[in-house]
Amino acid sequence: MTPETSIAPGGTLGILGGGQLGRMLALAAASYGLKTHIYAPDPESPAFDVAARHSCKPYDDEAALIRFAQSVDVVTYEFENVPRRTAEIIAAHAPLRPNAAALATTQDRFTEKSFVAGLGIPTAPFAGVGSEADLQHALREIGRPAVLKTRRFGYDGKGQVMIHPATDVADAWRTLRGAPCILEGFVPFEREVSVVAARGVDGSFAAYDLCANTHRHHILATTVVPAGVDDATERKALAIARRIAEALDYVGVLAVEMFLLRRGDGEELIVNEIAPRVHNSGHWTIEGAETSQFAQHVRAVCGWPLGSTKRRGRAEMRNLIGHEVDSWAELLQEPGAHLHLYGKARAQPGRKMGHVTRISPEHAHPGEPV
């Protein structure tokens, strides 16, 4: 850590994006004596409520972006759909961590898949698709079932369509309105897992234990740690995450989502996606690890030493989606339930309103009483 790369307590962290991840980053920064300035276009951004300052401006307002960058000591982001031009403007006026190149690589699914495959890391078979004719050709190469996804702006199941043997190709192409796409071969995975890890300005690296994730309607429902895989598989997963972080010259927390496949008696990993930010599957670390992913990200982007990722027990995190948040009063009465509400004004189907984490002793199974 050097004065040129580190931000002292009392400094200001700028955050692009005002959702729940930005909110939890701001809370973590406050615990370290840092102020936060949130920049987001939505006046109802929940992160505004806990920040010292906020700017409610569009991401293409160059003058506002420059003023924002000049008001802070370092800038990070809480979601990957920040326009590349926005990141470039910020980087010209303040340290931006992670860097704009890492953002550009991970916000385009085809570019990301090509990057991972170029490192020799297994992925599902994939092909770029720019037209219905491209899609027909890619399906002949990759086969069915397959998943057609937009290259950009998809999350929580948005911007994708499953192509089964009986699916009409023209209908599938029209569903995504002719946006630039990627076709991915379907992977018969046993479970989905993720590595949440951090890399510091000095190249230091720290990873949390591998998580096992369950999705419902394409939205993360639960995360369980430990993931219940072979030790060798977990070591391989963490090594993959480190290789990706180093190749991107990444600074901050990132998540690498993977599919676990069973081949005979062995386990194999295939990388699905990279999230260049703190991640939903890392929420358990707030109570379940010695350093939360949010505190870790603040440490990393401010040029501070990374904290311990040691787990405090077995963890289960459950998202509160839509009106599941209406159970908040019951959860408050449950011993050992750690409730986090995101301050969003309205519960809507598919909207993440909060989460609850339960930590149990190491010898117990998640969900068992302490």
Cα dihedral value 343, 344, 347, 352, nearest 10: -90
pLDDT, position 111: 97
Residues in the chain: 370
Q: Give the pLDDT band (50/70/90) at residue 67.
A: very high
Start-end of H helices in the chain: 20-31, 62-70, 84-91, 100-106, 109-118, 132-142, 169-175, 231-247, 285-288, 293-301, 328-333
Q: HEC profile for 225-272?
A: ECCCCCHHHHHHHHHHHHHHHHHCCCCEEEEEEEEEEEECCEEEEEEE
Tell me how far apart the alpha carbons of residues 124 and 257 are, in angstroms, rounded to a whole number.
12
Query: What is the DSSP secondary structure assignment for residue 120, as one 8-state letter?
Result: T
CATH architecture type of domain 191-360:
2-Layer Sandwich (3.30)
What residue spans define the domains of the chain?
12-96, 125-185, 191-360
Confidence (pTM): 0.94
Tell me how far apart the alpha carbons of residues 208 and 230 are, in angstroms, rounded to a whole number.
16
Mean pLDDT, rounded, of the chain: 94
Tell me how far apart the alpha carbons of residues 259 and 193 are, in angstroms, rounded to a whole number.
6
pLDDT, position 294: 98
Tell me how far apart the alpha carbons of residues 330 and 347 are, in angstroms, rounded to a whole number.
17
Q: Give the pLDDT band (50/70/90) at residue 263.
A: confident
Examine the pLDDT at 253 and tell me if it is beyond 70. Answer: yes
Q: Give the pLDDT band (50/70/90) at residue 170.
A: very high
pLDDT, position 157: 59
Share of the chain above pLDDT 70, in %: 96
The answer for residues whose C-beta is within 8 angstroms of residue 348's C-beta and 6 or more apart is 322
Examine the pLDDT at 2 and tell me if it is beyond 80. Answer: no
Q: Express each pLDDT in 294-340 by its tens digit.
A: 999 999 999 999 999 999 999 999 999 999 999 999 999 999 999 99
Q: What is the fold of 125-185?
A: Dna Ligase; domain 1 (3.30.1490)
Q: Express each pLDDT in 212-240 by its tens digit.
A: 999 998 899 999 999 999 999 999 999 99
Q: Express each pLDDT in 108-162 by its tens digit.
A: 999 999 999 999 999 999 999 999 999 999 999 999 999 999 998 766 557 889 9
CATH number, domain 12-96, options 3.40.50.20, 1.10.10.10, 3.30.450.20, 3.40.50.12780: 3.40.50.20
Examine the pLDDT at 39 and tell me if it is beyond 70. Answer: yes
pLDDT, position 154: 64
